[in-house]
Amino acid sequence: MHLTHRPVQSGDIPVICCFPQGPDELFYMFPKATYPLTPLQLSDAIAQRSASTVVEGQGLVLGFANFYKAEHGGVCALGNLVVAPAARGHGVARYLVQCMINLAREQFAARELWVSCFNHNTAGLLLYPQLGFVPFGVEERQTWDGTRVALVQMKQVLG
């Protein structure tokens, strides 16, 4: 599948809101949001973040991510990453993370890109190290229903 990327547009927001398939998936993507994800919740997050980007394939929006932290010459932190359910396992997340690495380098001259991944998010925990991210910390957090989880923090030094 041929993938492209571009900045998010307002018409993409209702589509992206359908990607999280339950409270757990929404928690991985956007811990502060309440399920189901609404256009207002996502629009507010986009307004407070940088480089909100979508991946397209075959004319469809297939993935979304942004930076919740973007320090010029410093650290960018990847957030809100989500892939359309039908597109999972087809390289969309890998392509999207590579795009975000390039944006961190080119738009922000970032020295490091950080990503945080919850311990239940097996796909993310397996993907990020393949793309050069190295764990550097673990924090305890609580899910939407109060369950204890580990947030694994990883980073990639951008050359």
| pLDDT single digits (tens) 121-143 | 999 999 999 999 999 999 999 99
Q: Tell me if 27 is assigned to some domain.
A: yes
Q: Tell me if 22 is assigned to some domain.
A: yes
Q: Tell me if 92 is assigned to some domain.
A: yes
Q: What is the total count of domains within the chain?
A: 1
Nearest to 97 by CA among 45, 155, 38, 159: 155
Inform me whether the pLDDT recorded for 1 exceeds 90. Answer: no
Quote the pLDDT of residue 121: 94
Q: Tell me if 142 is assigned to some domain.
A: no
Q: Tell me if 12 is assigned to some domain.
A: yes
Averaged pLDDT, 11-32: 97
Nearest to 83 by CA among 113, 48, 124: 124
Strand extents, DSSP E, the chain: 3-7, 50-57, 60-70, 75-83, 112-118, 134-142, 148-157
Give the Cα separation of 138 and 154 in Å (integer).
Answer: 9
Averaged pLDDT, 16-34: 96
Q: Nearest 5°: phi and psi at 102?
A: -65, -40
First to last CA, the chain: 29
pTM reported for the whole predicted model: 0.97
For the domain that residue 34 is a member of, what is the CATH number?
A: 3.40.630.30
Averaged pLDDT, 6-15: 98
Range of the domain at 97: 3-116
Q: Nearest 5°: phi and psi at 2?
A: -80, 125
Q: Nearest 5°: phi and psi at 154?
A: -130, 155
Is 133 exposed, middle or buried (CB count within 10 Å of its CB: 0-12, 13-18, 19+)?
buried
Q: Each residue of 37-91: pLDDT tens digit?
A: 999 999 999 999 999 999 999 999 999 999 999 999 999 999 999 999 999 999 9
Q: Tell me if 49 is assigned to some domain.
A: yes
